[in-house]
Amino acid sequence: MSDVNKHNLVYFENPSMRGLYDTIEEWQQSNNRRFLSLSVQQDRGNYCCIALTNPAEVVITSVDGHNHASVNRFGLLAVDTQQ
């Protein structure tokens, strides 16, 4: 999987909760990704999960939206000021 992770929404479903857990665990191991949050609900006899992965890029924005700080995958901090 690419280090660039701009799509961080993932969907899983399984007829059993144990099966859903196994599917999610397998996905995590295969993709070497952690989840930011998970939501599990029942839908028509299946256990369904919508998950958000930790994004590879994080941008911190000031309240007024003029200043941005981002950390790249190498841990370098970049600051951008828009006027």
Angle at 76 between CA 74 and CA 81, to 5 degrees: 140
Q: Measured between alpha carbons, how far is 77 from 66 in angstroms, rounded to an integer?
A: 17
Residue with token string 């990704």: 33
Nearest-5° Cα angle at 28, 26 to 25: 40
Amino acid at 31: N
- Give 54-78 pLDDT, tens digit per residue: 766 666 778 887 878 777 667 777 7
Predicted structure pTM score: 0.61
Q: Render pLDDT for 31-52 as a digit per residue (tens, 0 to 9).
A: 888 888 999 999 999 999 999 9
**Residue 83, pLDDT score:** 56
The rounded distance, in Å, linking the Cα atoms of 15 and 17 is 7
